[in-house]
Amino acid sequence: MSHFRPVELHHASRLINHGPTVLVTAAHGGRRNIMAAAWSMPVEFTPPRIAVVIDKSTYTRELITGAGAFGICVPGAALMDLTYAVGSESGRDMDKFAHYGIDAAAGPVLGMPILEQGCAAWLECRWIRETHTESAYDTFFGEVVSAAADARIFDNGHWNFTDQNVALHTLHHLGAGKFVVAGNQVQATFPVSK
Ligand SMILES: Cc1cc2nc3c(=O)[nH]c(=O)nc-3n(C[C@H](O)[C@H](O)[C@H](O)COP(=O)(O)O)c2cc1C
């Protein structure tokens, strides 16, 4: 049984607001691919838009520009090794989904590959062409057109990191395969009491 539930688009920014390492997916012309990306962020609430750095050397970039769309999946801690693996080899000559036994479905709006098993959330994005930022900074923009999250960790527009959902806690790359796992959720008090 899937624990995924739709996320209202005005809450989509929250899925990557805290800077998790994500999996970027794309499918085009009978090929599909997946890579890791540590550099992504929301840039607009409404309409919901995000930015992600996609290097010119990647095969994913070819598929995104071909499809005009991409998927963003937010892997949980249990997918750390897979995340590092798909970020360490190119799918140009291999199908990483088949090689690693990744179970992907087609996103409901754009048909981009989306992962639920082991992931905390996913977003489907329509590519917003920005020739200058793509060429100068490898930065791609996308408009989020559908999103969903595992209700055990993101519900009613809010993350909830607890000891009961550790496998879904997000990954944050420190470099060279070392990650920290998000946790220790705390709540700020405002106004500050004096
Ligand atoms: C943890 C991690 C984070 C990464 N972050 C990015 C990123 O933000 N942008 C990028 O272009 N490449 C990033 N990479 C590298 C790509 O994932 C890598 O080049 C990948 O092999 C590209 O695959 P592809 O050729 O199949 O598209 C990252 C790799 C790892 C392991």
Q: Closest ligand 1 atom to the C-alpha of 55? A: 11
Question: CA–CA separation, 6 vs 182, rounded Å?
Answer: 22
Question: CA–CA separation, 72 vs 41, rounded Å?
Answer: 11
Question: What pLDDT does residue 20 have?
Answer: 98
Question: CA–CA separation, 112 vs 146, rounded Å?
Answer: 11
Question: CA–CA separation, 152 vs 132, rounded Å?
Answer: 40
User: Could you tell which of 56, 58, 89 is best to mutate to test the pocket of ligand 1, judged by most ligand atoms within 8 Å of the CB?
Assistant: 58
Residue-wise burial string across 75-109, b where 16 or more C-beta atoms lie within 10 A, e elsewhere: bbbbbbebbbbbbeeebeeeebbeeeebebeebee
Question: CA–CA separation, 124 vs 108, rounded Å?
Answer: 8
Whose CA is closest to 157, among 10, 11, 1, 4? 11
Residue 139 CB–ligand 1 contact under 6 Å = no
Question: What pLDDT does residue 155 have?
Answer: 98
Question: CA–CA separation, 147 vs 15, rounded Å?
Answer: 9
Question: What pLDDT does residue 2 have?
Answer: 93
Q: How far is the CA of 145 from the centre of ligand 1 (A)?
A: 23
Question: What pLDDT does residue 76 have?
Answer: 98
Residue 100 CB–ligand 1 contact under 6 Å = no
**Among the CATH numbers 3.40.50.1820, 3.40.960.10, 3.30.540.10, 2.30.110.10, which is that of 4-181?**
2.30.110.10
Residue 90 CB–ligand 1 contact under 6 Å = yes
Question: What pLDDT does residue 194 have?
Answer: 79
**Can you read off the two tokens belonging to residue 16?**
């990557």
Q: How far is the CA of 67 from the centre of ligand 1 (A)?
A: 19
Walk along the chain (194 residues) in steps of 10 and give the mean pLDDT of each run.
96 98 98 98 97 98 98 98 98 98 98 98 98 98 98 98 98 98 96 88
